[in-house]
Amino acid sequence: MIELLLAMAIGGMLLLAAVSLLVTVSQAWANRPATRDAFDAHVNGVANFLHATLEEASLPTARGKNDAIVDLQRPVGFSDSDEPLIHFYLREAPPLFVWPKGVATRVHTYLQIDEGEGLSFLWFSELQELEKNEKGKLEPEDESDLMKTPISKFCSEVFYCYYGDEDDKEGDSKEWDIKDELEENIQTGKYRIPAFIKLVFRWPEEDLERTITLAVESISPNGLQEDPF
């Protein structure tokens, strides 16, 4: 009798453990779609925000002869970096750009992906105290004067999408090429602006990718290239 009671007790404990494990696994599975949906929503939100922000990019007010809507520059403090950063100009920054003087205007923005910190915008306003750098462009005096706006800590990698080679001529057959680094012209030492960038967002269960178009030129409604205010 004692052995029977002991066996029943052990069996009950095993059954309780199994039920507890089943409930735990079921709850985890039930919560998994919500977690994944939240990650999907975050990635889609970041991609939409980047698309909308880049659509507002324009030529700087005080522009040079060869300035483009999107180019590659090294902000102050990044002169020794391996690659330049994607740079563009906003006449009026989105509310996400926290500015002590109200809405940030005349903003130079740099796209930065830093290991461990994810995707961020580095930026400064032309209304700040600036000085000319070696290339004659206005920038803050010190790196600490750059503003930083975190966008996504889940964005861990960027790929650059190019159409054809830089020395292709009109009529040449072109193909898309995806690189993990900016393409550099060996002869001139200049970097080539990609047509698209592909951002990789990492989550323990899955990776998501989003492609972001980089503006080449801004066209006004009448079909002419837009001039700055």
> Could you report the per-residue pLDDT of 33-77, keeping only the tens digit for each?
667 788 889 999 999 999 999 999 988 876 666 678 999 999 998
49-85 burial, b for 16+ CB within 10 Å, e for fewer? ebeebbeebbbbeeeeeeebbbbbbbbbebeeeeebb
The structure's pTM equals 0.76
Mean pLDDT to the nearest integer, 154-165: 91
Does residue 218 belong to any structural domain of this protein? no
Domain that holds residue 149: 40-213
Does residue 6 belong to any structural domain of this protein? no
pLDDT for residue 23: 37
Does residue 155 belong to any structural domain of this protein? yes
Does residue 27 belong to any structural domain of this protein? no
pLDDT digits (tens, 9 = 90+) for 116-132: 889 999 999 999 988 98
The domain total for the chain is 1
Give which of 93, 142, 145, 152 is closest to 120, Cα–Cα: 152
R_g of the chain computed on alpha carbons:
26
